[in-house]
Chain A
């Protein structure tokens, strides 16, 4: 079974631009979560999508947005990029097999550098 894939793997943008990152979950997984990882803050939750609906959102400004398609693929968008947005953006998928707990499996991430 193929794992979580993310594209592109590396991205360089300048301040003020916008960027779209893509995530394809493991086949059969309907939940996709996004995280931002920086050396200063560690892994921080951005948002979660399940069946094309955003179910939870972390404490990030409105410049960060996302969506999920009917095939469970997800995109996240960052508008008006700032230097502080430079980070590794990670996507994780899960199957929601139970309602007790749920394991997430991560993709390789997209390394975004804002100049």
Chain B
């Protein structure tokens, strides 16, 4: 069964304190791994796509990396406005899968305090 697990569930950081969020997955034939940011009461906002082990993507203070079993979202010198829930999702290529279906983790709720 395709599964996505994120850790930690919640993370509190002081402004400027760098850290990493983890997303581990077990899927049949990974096609793509996606990171989203979600603010309360809003839809997920697309951040990154990763699709091959060793790949890295960066955007401002965020950097996403991918291995064969997991992905990391590194947050460097975070600011209070980075506070949100970060969601990891995978697109599988196994039987019954289509490009329109994403399997989501439960997310990491990040709080950055001044």
A interface with B by C-beta (< 8 Å): 4, 31-33, 35, 42-45, 48-50, 55-56, 58, 88, 90, 92, 94, 96, 99-109, 111
Contact = CB atoms under 8 A, between A and B. Distances in A.
A31 B49 contact: no
Contacts of B91: 101-102
Contacts, number: 79
Interface residues of B, number: 27
A96 B99 contact: yes
Chain B at the A interface: SS class: loop
Interface of B: 31-32, 34, 36, 41-46, 49, 51, 87, 89, 91, 96-107
Contacts of B105: 42
Contact of A104 (B31, B46, B51, B106): B46
A101 B51 contact: yes
Q: Is the interface of A mostly helix, strand, loop or mixed?
A: strand
A31 B100 contact: yes
Contacts of A56: 96-98, 100-101
